[in-house]
Amino acid sequence: MAEELRASEMIYLLKKININLEICLEKKLKGSGMSGTQVYFLVYILRQRPRGTYITEMCRETGLSKATLSVLVKKMREKGYLCFVEEPEDIRKKKVIPTEKLLSEGAGFMQKTRQMEDEICSVLDYGERLELWELEHKILARLGILMLVMAAVSLFSGAMAGKYAAAASSGFACNLRESMYIKIQDYSFSNIDKFSTAGLVTRMTTDVTNVQNAFQMIIRIAVRAPLMLIFSMAMCFMINRSLSFVFLAALCFLAVILALIMGKASSIFREVFDRYDDLNASIQENVAAIRVVKAYVREDHENKKFSRAAQNLYRLFVKAESMLALNNPVMMLVVYACLTAVSWFGAHFIVAGSMSTGDITSLFSYVMSVMMSLMMLSMIFVMVTMSSASVRRISEVLKEQPELHNPVEPVMEVADGSIDFDHVSFAYKHGTGEDTLEDIDLHIKSGETIGIIGGTGCGKSSLVSLISRLYDASCGTVRAGGRDVRDYDMEVLRNEVAVVLQKNVLFSGTILDNLRWGKQDASVEECEKACEAACADEFIERFPDGYDTWIERGGTNVSGGQKQRLCIARALLKKPKVLILDDSASAVDTSTDARIRKAFRTYIPGTTKIIIAQRVSSVEDADRILVLENGKINGFGSHEELLESNEIYRSIYESQTQGGGDFDQAS
């Protein structure tokens, strides 16, 4: 039969044996044939086995024979290192005893152990005690220095982790914004039409910031917290497998609750960021049209509109945050439930003799480690829930595929300025059955000047957008220079087809900076000649800084006519084969308009010029004039031919020359 060490002896060793006694054991037991390592390992096992340890089990763990270990334990008992303290009969039989009896017997036991401590200390002589005291202080000093070094390393590592996590998340956000911006530059007009301007701004600012914050928290905590959780759980299972199942049950409960919260909150956050788009759109519209708002005294109306958008956003945010706020109460419930369960069941295990108070203390430490890791994971959960909606919105931009692509082997040169429309139809939304242009069959020779006129919404701008391939025709073929526009490299095509759009845009910078959008390496002399042709030199020379005059964003510090002339000069710098003016002289007086058209004949004589206008005077001297009505060609010929044969053109002409009627409609 294996000899059993009394539980009281093991408890005494656990509580009272210290480093002095361990060193003493090493010195006194050298004669037993054990090495110092084996002695320390034996003491370690004795301290870790407070609930009755068998000789056979100790043999297996120390590698000593049963006979050697039995002799060793006997010598230790003879010398007083293992103390004979009778444990209560009720405890030996593992019976539950009244609290009063347990307390009284426990007090007697502690009194005996204090007496035994004095007996053990008397075993050592003064020299040995002095030597052990010096060794103890050296060991403590070494351990203290090691702890300080580790604390300093931990502090430095934490600071560096914060620094590099911030750098990584900022770099990630920068790359994300850059990728989105580059992607948007590749969009065709049809792609851009799917997203509002306010929506794209929100995605590149608020949404990217949300993802950045979540990413920073993930790289700092999402690695550390799971590792803490796994290793703490493993230690809990090593101490007491039965009690550890409490944590597994708590984790399962927590996972289910957090999954439900995340599912509901994510859908709300998606709607929240859509409301952000509405709020930004309201601000953008108000700021862009602030002059109109002031002119019509509509400040109160705009305030109410913004307030509605802000209140909608507020209500949704409160709803979403209320869902996430459940995270903390649930987490606290799980933490305190685990502590209560460990305390309750641990007390029963201690009374039964299957656990010690040391085990419970260790278990509590690991419980707090588990709970701390869960708290950190809950913080990640909140950030991931908020950012998941932003991730979807960002991915929509990045996954959107441009509808216009360069061919595999693109044509890199436009031969001339000839334009052909072969039975072309076009719709902004394919498959709706509503064509903006229908069966357009039109042929323009290189170098011709073509005027386009018609009522509002008849498809004039849509027609010229197909030439520079801002959109692709739904059916039919558009040719430039004798080749299908889809055969060209888009950059080459758009460099040869200059368009002055209906909405004139200037960018913040000097006048020269804006002009050089047409030609990056244009000299000052080239810019001056282009401005002279566009009749822009007359007002530029009146500016104190001339061509170095600063233009505010959108050209807000120049008039509408000045802005149009600068845009025309910018297009002329390209010396294109095709020049399209989409109602781009509407804010220019008729005499200046005539001078600009006259300058075209000398500055770009071989360029095909397509002029969209509402005024007949702007197109009457064109080689041919195209009349559009409801997306169809109503007439095509010279000014004189159309006056004779086309009712719509004649009515527009008469309404403008005789000063009556609306020239958008037939009188």
Q: What is the pLDDT of residues 262-320, one digit of tens each?
A: 778 877 887 887 788 778 878 878 887 787 888 888 888 888 888 888 888 888 888 88
pLDDT of residue 488: 92
Q: Is the pLDDT of residue 27 over 80?
A: no
The predicted pLDDT at position 448 comes to 92
Supply the CATH classification number for the domain 419-657. Answer: 3.40.50.300
Average pLDDT, the chain: 77
CA distance 362 to 232: 11
Q: Which residues contact 492 (CB under 8 A, 6 or more apart)?
A: 410, 411, 412, 413, 414
Dihedral of CA atoms 428, 433, 435, 439 in degrees, nearest 10, equals 130
User: What pLDDT does 601 receive?
Assistant: 85
Q: What digits encode the pLDDT tens for the residues 599-637?
A: 888 888 889 999 998 888 888 889 999 999 888 999 999
Does the structure show a pLDDT above 50 at 87? no
What pLDDT, on the 0 to 100 scale, is given for residue 602? 86
User: Above 80 in pLDDT, residue 211?
Assistant: yes
Confidence of residue 92 (pLDDT cuts 50, 70, 90): very low
Q: How far is CA 209 from CA 169, 219, 390, 448, in A?
A: 10, 16, 9, 53
The pLDDT value recorded for residue 77 is 54
Q: Are 175 and 208 in contact (CB under 8 A)?
A: no
pLDDT at residue 19 tops 60: no
Winning range, highest mean pLDDT, from 3-17, 207-221, 475-489: 475-489
201 touches 394 (CB < 8 A): no
What's the N-to-C CA distance of the chain in angstroms? Answer: 122
pLDDT value for 8: 41
Query: What share of the chain has pLDDT > 70, as a percent?
Result: 78
Interstrand relation of 449-454 and 608-612 (parallel, antiparallel or unpaired):
parallel
Q: What is the mean pLDDT of residues 217-245?
A: 82
Report the distance separating Cα 500 and Cα 505, nearest Å: 9
* pLDDT (tens digit per residue) in 446-482: 999 999 998 888 888 889 989 988 888 888 999 999 8
Three-state SS letters, 42-57: HHHHHHHCCCCCEHHH
632-637 and 475-480 beta bridge pairing: unpaired
pLDDT exceeds 90 at position 652: no
Q: Which two tokens stand for residue 182?
A: 């580059």
Same fold, 160-399 and 419-657: no
- Position 103 scores a pLDDT of 41
Q: Which of 99-103, 203-207, 430-434 has the highest mean pLDDT?
A: 203-207
Residues contacting 8, CB < 8 A, separation 6+: 83, 85, 86, 87, 109
| For range 311-333, the mean pLDDT | 82
Which two three-digit tokens encode residue 33?
Answer: 């044939």
Domain ranges of the chain: 7-124, 160-399, 419-657
Supply 316's token pair: 């949704």
Give the chain's radius of gyration (CA, Å): 44
Q: Indicate the angle between helix axes 560-572 and 524-533, nearest 10 degrees.
A: 120
Task: Find out whether 247 and 343 touch, Cβ atoms under 8 Å.
Answer: no
Nearest to 358 by CA among 84, 47, 91, 4: 47
**CB atoms < 10 A from the CB of 221, how many?**
19
pLDDT tens per residue, range 115-151: 544 444 444 444 545 555 666 677 778 878 888 998 8
pLDDT at 432: 61
Does residue 346 have a pLDDT over 90? no
Task: Provide the token pair at 507.
Answer: 């960018």
pLDDT digits (tens, 9 = 90+) for 500-523: 887 778 888 999 999 998 888 889
User: For residue range 355-391, what is the model confidence (pLDDT) as tens digits?
Assistant: 777 778 778 888 788 778 877 877 787 788 778 888 8
| DSSP for 462-521, written as a single string | HHHHTTTTSS--SEEEEEETTEEGGGB-HHHHHHHEEEE-SS----SEEHHHHHTTT-TT
The per-residue pLDDT for 480 is 92
CA 27 to chain centroid, in Å, comes to 64
Task: Report pTM.
Answer: 0.63
More confident residue, 309 or 14: 309
* DSSP labels, 6-44: PHHHHHHHHHH--HHHHHHHHHHTGGGT--HHHHHHHHH
Tell me, what's the pLDDT at 485? 92
What is the CATH superfamily name and number for domain 160-399?
ABC transporter type 1, transmembrane domain (1.20.1560.10)
If one compares 372 and 658, the residue with the highest pLDDT of the two is 372
Angle between helix 208-221 and 357-399 (nearest 10)? 150
